[in-house]
Chain A
Amino acid sequence: MASVETVKVEPSADLENEEEVKFVWGRKRGIGGKRKEVQFYESFTYDDVEYALYDCVYMHKEGQLPYIGKIIKIWENPDKSRKIKVHWFFRPSEILYHLKGVKVAVENEIFLASGEGTGLANVNPLEAIAGKCNVVCISEDNSNPQPSEEEVKMADFVFYRAFDVGKCSILDKMDDKVGGLDGMCLSSLVKYVFNRKVSQKASHVLKHASDQNGDKNAVEYQATTKESFGLKALNDLGTSKASHLDGKIDVDAQSSLVRQDALQRETNVSRVNKETTKKANSAPGEQNSHDVSRVAKAAGKLSHIVGKSDVNVQTSPVRPDANDSRVKQQSTMKGNPAPVQIVNSTATTVVQNTISEENACCKINNEKDDKKVNKPPINLVEAGETGKSPKDLGVLEDRPSKRIKVNGSVTLSEDKGVNSVEKSTVCRNEKKVLGTSAVPSEERKKSVDSKLSGGLDKNMKIRKDSAALDSRPSKKANIDARKVQEDRDKSNMLGKRADNLGKLPKVSTGTSPKEVERTEGKSFEVTRRPVAESSKWFKAPPWEEVMQTANEQGALILLENLNPEYTSGEVEDIIWHACRENCTTKMVQRTAFSSPYSGRALVAFKTREGAERVTKKLADGCLMVSNQRPLVASFVSLPKTEGNPTSLAGHLCVDKLRLQLQREMREAVSTSHCSQPNTIEYEMANEWRLLQARSDSWWNRLYKQQKEDLTKITSGLKRK
């Protein structure tokens, strides 16, 4: 065995002293190489964690979630450089594109690389290892020792399928073709793909002077496929639903820690015990040194990282330092010890980067913020967005409560890969909104010439009700009051009476009119309206005209809380049956941010009086449609178009080149293209997609919340 040389390890792991990471070779395996100069090994101990052949490990990837791989070869070159050959696993997020239509079995499923081509396996410096990983094979193949339920639960990852890197497809069965190495045959499969029956590590703890110089490069992972997948993962950050690793709680972490240690067989048993207890104890402590809530989420992964950490009892901030030194080793491109600057981002150490699951990449080098995991993908930083404040990971817990909270501090909680609105800014905006609009509404109040005297009373009543209903701070009441003001103001339009333009119902049917008696409190069925005789002679003018005319007259109403599935004609029928008024209606088409359950319709009447009548009726009484939805009617005036905007926010062009652009426009060249990945434009585009994704999530949450609110109230209805 190798000679035993003890090296005194400095207890205070200075940040600069990266040489202090302990390394010890394990059992030798054989000699190889052209001139018999390469020594193969079966195991080694790195940073007090023992690794053996066919163990699964995390491999550092700068700025991203670490890769997962299986060690299939370990050796030392004559120049003392230590290498391992790693057979890769793919996370779902790395091959999202090829997972279309494929269902991921469990959230922590990964795929074994198979087939031929780049991305199958790579040689890497041993120092690129970021930690041990517990991967359990749940393949139902006969030769696979089936793991117990416990083991599966405790595993970091499971796999039973393979991903063929050549064909870019998923293989459901583990056949002999997995991996093109070493003449794969079933026995090899058994040997290193399937679960091993006994952990055959017999490590010898040897203090061995380790030269920590040499190339401490980052993972030299050649496969461009992985790069592009990484980028794709970036794109799909906001949208991908392949969320894996919701955090296991601390309890699990500790128990898995203990279990892991139990598996490791050390000659020095007492040392194991000390380590175990220390880790178990220190785990919560160390975790507390970072953002608490985030930790709770990712404790499962944390356990492994902790497992490899420096166990020197004397060192005070144990883990961060050790890992910082790791950061410097692996993530710098140069061979020199990296400047301390990198380490400034102690909070965002490598470890934490591996923790934060949803980020496909976290910045190790570039980020200046401490204590906050950075959501935006790395290309944002490269675009020089240094001024950008870190986006909180937290999720908007309660949509309406955004109005209440004044502090911007957001505690990180369960997230689904989504940025939240920074609450402080939201509240600031909201305050601004209130502030600025308070003034005009005051003015408008004075000039109210409400024609609906009855409506005015109603509004007062509503306002009182809202004050009573709302237990929330007065901000909400203000908003209601404002809204009510606006309604009144809209009804304030001084419209002239217009002659009948002979607007006809759009739907002209030949069905015989069905007269339905309408009595208070009795329900009636809405069927086709009776058609005026003259309908056969006139052609209905287009909706735009109708709408504009009604708008000018003040005869345009907005109906809300309709079933979005209704068509325009059905709404017209409703109005007719309920109020005996003819009208022309257009259901507002749904867009990206329309409410999914409250449909809206613009209703145009021939006369303003007709509109008023209907509005009054609907406001005073309650017209329940399908016994669930009281219609809400309000006057509306279309927002004036102060000239259509000529460009959309986000369409940029360099001023100097503007002339060129104009020429293009004039020549009506349709400029459309897909963006290429290595341009500034691409990065900016990704920023936009991120914003789009965020907006989507805001809307989703808002509507979800609103729906809940509504269902709660609706359940109070007695007659269903």
Chain B
Amino acid sequence: METSDKEYVAFGEKVKRTIFIDNLSPVATEAVVKAALDQFGNVIQVKFIPNYLEPKNIGQAALVEVENADQAKTIISELSNSPFMICGMPRPVRARAAEAEMFDDRPRKPGRKIVCRWLDSSDPDFEVANKIKLTVRKQAEESKFLLKHQLEEEENLSKKQMETLNASYKKFEIIESVVSNRVATRLAERYRVRVADAEH
């Protein structure tokens, strides 16, 4: 189907008012994301980007289309300024402007001509082309490696935070129990120390 220029422009508009969100929990659904972002603006639709090739634990990504480009910008800047969490903490989601290549239903660029050429081994460019192919493969491997590394880092951070969290929680429990069973107050009386009433 030939896309007219008008359609293409319309698509461009759509891209401008769409936000790309990732670091989403696997349990997040479209409804959840919509509800979450409705605070900021009018969400028209939410579409998840399917992940066929990458490892499964990188978090989901979604394209969220809102009413207009300004809302999109606002949301992106809000989410950049303060951490926003959907369906789990403390890992915040990340938002950025969408790009055309993120959409799977994008129209063709009008007026684009693709020209192809077969090269055989006698062609002078054959060697170089092969080199390119090799490099592309190599780079794909590098990307995979980096992704793996990133995931490892994330796991590490998660573990560390888990420890911290548990430690803090233990402390909190101790304090709470001490306060609640009045041991703290009795000790305070004994040592003549003032115990502030920490009412949060």
A interface residues, Cβ below 8 angstroms from B: 97, 100, 232, 235-236, 239, 383-385, 387-388, 399-400, 421, 426, 429-430, 433, 462, 465-466, 469, 476, 479-480, 482-483, 507, 509, 518, 520-526, 544, 547, 558, 560-561, 564-570, 573-574, 577-578, 586-595, 598-600, 602, 621-627, 629-630, 632, 634, 636, 638-639, 641, 644-656, 665, 670-675, 680-682, 684-689, 691-692, 694-695, 698-699, 702, 706, 709-710, 713-714, 716-719
Q: Give the chain A neighbours of B140 by CB distance below 8 A.
A: 483, 560, 595, 598
Q: Flag if B55 contacts A567 (CB, 8 Å).
A: no
Which of chain A's residues have a CB closer than 8 A to the CB of B141?
479-480, 482-483
* Residues of the A chain whose Cβ atoms lie less than 8 Å from the Cβ of B145: 430, 433
Question: For residue A421, which residues in chain B have a CB less than 8 angstroms away from its CB?
Answer: 149
Whether B135 pairs with A670 at a CB distance below 8 angstroms is: no
**Residue among A591, A665, A714 with the most chain B CB within 10 A?**
A591
Contact call B160/A623, Cβ cutoff below 8 A: no
State in angstroms the CA–CA spacing of A595 and B143 once bound together: 8
- The residue of chain A having its C-beta at the shortest distance from the C-beta of B53 within the complex is A588
Residues B22 and A591 in contact, CB atoms below 8 Å apart:
yes
Contacts of A570 in B (CB 8 A): 108, 112, 114
How long is the Cα–Cα vector from A587 to B36 in the complex, in angstroms? 29
When C-beta atoms are compared, the residue in chain B nearest to A587 turns out to be: B104
A236 touches B80 (CB 8 A): yes
Question: Which residue of chain A is the closest to B140 with respect to CB atoms?
Answer: A560
Q: For the complex, is B31 an interface residue (Cβ under 8 Å from A)?
A: yes
Instruction: Name the one of A569, A594, A648 contacting B59, with C-beta atoms under 8 angstroms.
Output: A648
In the complex, the chain B residue whose C-beta lies closest to that of A573 is: B114
Additional pairs, 12, CB under 8 Å, beyond known A430-B145, A624-B118, A651-B91: A465-B134, A483-B138, A526-B115, A565-B100, A567-B108, A589-B101, A649-B91, A649-B151, A651-B89, A654-B165, A665-B27, A674-B85
Chain B residue with the shortest CB-CB distance to A702: B146
Contact B108 A569 (CB under 8 A): yes
B154 A649 Cβ-Cβ under 8 A = yes
Contact B57 A521 (CB under 8 A): no
Q: How near does chain A come to B173, taking the closest CB pair, in angstroms?
A: 8
Given the interface pairs A630-B132, A632-B136, the reply to whether A684 lies near B90 with Cβ below 8 Å is: yes
CB closest residue in chain A, given B161: A684
Task: Name which of B64-72, B123-131, B177-185, B188-196 contacts chain A.
Answer: B123-131
Contact B164 A622 (CB under 8 A): no
Chain B nearest CB from A433 CB (Å) reads 7
What residues of chain B lie closer than 8 Å to A239, measured between beta carbons?
80
Tell me which residues from 68 to 84 in chain B have a Cβ below 8 Å from any Cβ of chain A: 77, 80-84
Partner among B77, B106, B135, B169 whose Cβ is within 8 Å of the Cβ of A100: B77
For residue A714, which residues in chain B have a CB less than 8 angstroms away from its CB? 128, 132
A672 touching B35 in the complex, CB below 8 Å, given contacts A592-B61, A624-B116 = yes
The CA of A621 and the CA of B92, in the complex, are separated in Å by 47
- Chain B residues contacting A702 (CB-CB under 8 Å) are 142-143, 146
Instruction: Select which of B32, B57, B90, B118 is within 8 A of A645 by beta carbon.
Output: B57
Whether the pair A526, B116 counts as a contact (CB closer than 8 A) is yes
Does B137 make an interface contact (CB < 8 A)? yes
Indicate if the CB atoms of B56 and A649 lie closer than 8 Å.
no
The reply to whether B91 and A670 form a contact with Cβ atoms under 8 Å apart is: no
CB B139 to nearest CB in A, in angstroms, measures: 5
Please give the number of chain B residues whose Cβ is less than 8 angstroms from any Cβ of chain A in the complex: 100
Asked if residues A652 and B89 are in contact (CB atoms below 8 Å), the reply is yes
Min C-beta distance of B194 to chain A, whole Å: 20
User: Chain B: which residue is nearest A671 at the CB level?
Assistant: B87
- Cβ–Cβ contact A648 & B26, under 8 A: yes
Report how far A400 CA is from B131 CA in the complex, Å. 17
Among B53, B57, B83, B104: residue with most chain A CB under 10 A: B83
Q: Is B186 an interface residue (CB 8 A)?
A: no
B57 adjacent to A649 (CB under 8 Å) = yes
A466 CA to B146 CA, complexed, in Å: 21
CA distance A424 to B153 in the complex (A): 14
Interface centre among A387, A522, A671 (most CB of B within 10 A): A671
- With both beta carbons as reference points, the residue of chain A lying nearest to B119 in the complex is identified as A622
- If A479-B141, A650-B157 touch, whether A639 touches B56 (CB-CB below 8 Å) is yes
Residue of B nearest to A710 (CB): B135
Looking at the assembled complex, report how far the CB atom of B56 sits from the nearest CB atom of chain A, in whole angstroms.
Answer: 6
Q: Is the CB of B101 within 8 A of A590?
A: yes
Query: Chain B's nearest CB lies how many Å from the CB of A564?
Result: 5
CB distance from A450 to the nearest CB of B (A): 18
Residue in A closest to B127 when the chains form the complex, CB atoms: A716
| Docked-complex contact A518 and B91, CB < 8 angstroms | no
Residue in A426, A674, A680, A717 whose beta carbon sits within 8 Å of that of B168 in the complex: A680
Taken together as a complex, chains A and B put the C-alpha atoms of A462 and B136 apart, in Å, by: 13
B36 / chain A contacts, CB cutoff of 8 Å: 670, 672
- B12 contacts A by Cβ under 8 Å: no
Bound CA–CA A621/B115 (angstroms): 16
Chain B residues, CB < 8 A from A630: 119, 129-130, 132-133
Contact of A706 with B137 in the complex, beta carbons under 8 Å: no
A523 touches B109 (CB 8 A): no
* A591 and B57 form a contact (CB under 8 A): no
Contact, CB under 8 Å: A429 / B137: no
Which residues of chain B come closer than 8 Å to A479, judged between CB atoms?
A: 138, 141
A429 touches B158 (CB 8 A): no
* Residues of chain B with a CB closer than 8 A to A509's CB: 1
* Complex: A621 Cα to B100 Cα, angstroms: 31
Contact of A574 among B87, B92, B114, B135 (CB under 8 A): B114
Are A670 and B114 in contact (CB-based, < 8 A)? no
B53 to chain A, nearest CB (A): 7
Interface pair B87/A651, CB less than 8 Å apart: yes
Is A520 in contact with B88, judged by CB distance below 8 angstroms? Answer: no
Chain B hits for A387, CB < 8 A = 160
Contact A648 B169 (CB under 8 A): no
Q: Is B41 positioned at the interface, with any CB of A under 8 Å from its CB? A: no
CA A430 – CA B142 in complex, angstroms?
A: 11
Query: Are A651 and B52 in contact, with the CB atoms below 8 A?
Result: no
* Cross-chain contact A670 with B61 (CB below 8 angstroms): no
> Are A462 and B90 interface neighbours, CB within 8 A?
no
Known: A235-B80, A598-B139. A638 touches B52 (CB 8 A): yes
Within the assembled complex, what's the spacing in Å between the Cα atoms of A673 and B37? 10
Docked-complex contact A717 and B35, CB < 8 angstroms: no
Contacts A565-B109, A589-B101, A699-B146; A654 near B166 (Cβ below 8 A): yes
Residues in B neighbouring A384, C-beta threshold 8 A: 164, 167
CB of B150 within 8 Å of the partner chain: yes
Which single member of A433, A469, A566, A685 contacts B90 (CB below 8 Å)? A685
A521, B94: Cβ atoms closer than 8 Å? no
Which of B85, B117, B124, B167 contacts A522 (CB under 8 A)? B117
B56 touches A644 (CB 8 A): yes
The distance from the CB of B80 to the nearest CB of chain A, in whole angstroms, is 7
Least CB distance from A536 to B in Å reads 15
A-B contact pairs, 9 of them (CB 8 A): A573-B114, A592-B96, A622-B125, A625-B114, A672-B32, A672-B36, A692-B92, A698-B149, A709-B135
Q: Are A685 and B89 in contact (CB under 8 A)?
A: yes
Residue of B nearest to A518 (CB): B118
Residues of chain B lying within 8 A (CB to CB) of residue A97: 81
Q: Which of A636, A698, A716 contacts B150 (CB 8 A)?
A: A698
Interface string of B16-31 (1 = CB under 8 A from A): 0000101111110001
Q: Which residues of A have CB within 8 Å of B130?
A: 462, 465, 622, 630
In contact, A673 and B85 (Cβ under 8 angstroms): yes
Contacts of A400 in B (CB 8 A): 142
CB distance from B72 to the nearest CB of A (A): 14
> Of B83, B118, B134, B157, which one neighbours A621 at CB under 8 angstroms?
B118
Of the candidates B82, B104, B132, which one forms a contact with A235 in the assembled complex, judged by CB atoms under 8 Å apart? B82
Q: Is B10 an interface residue (CB 8 A)?
A: no
Residues from chain B with Cβ under 8 Å of A578 in the complex: 116, 118
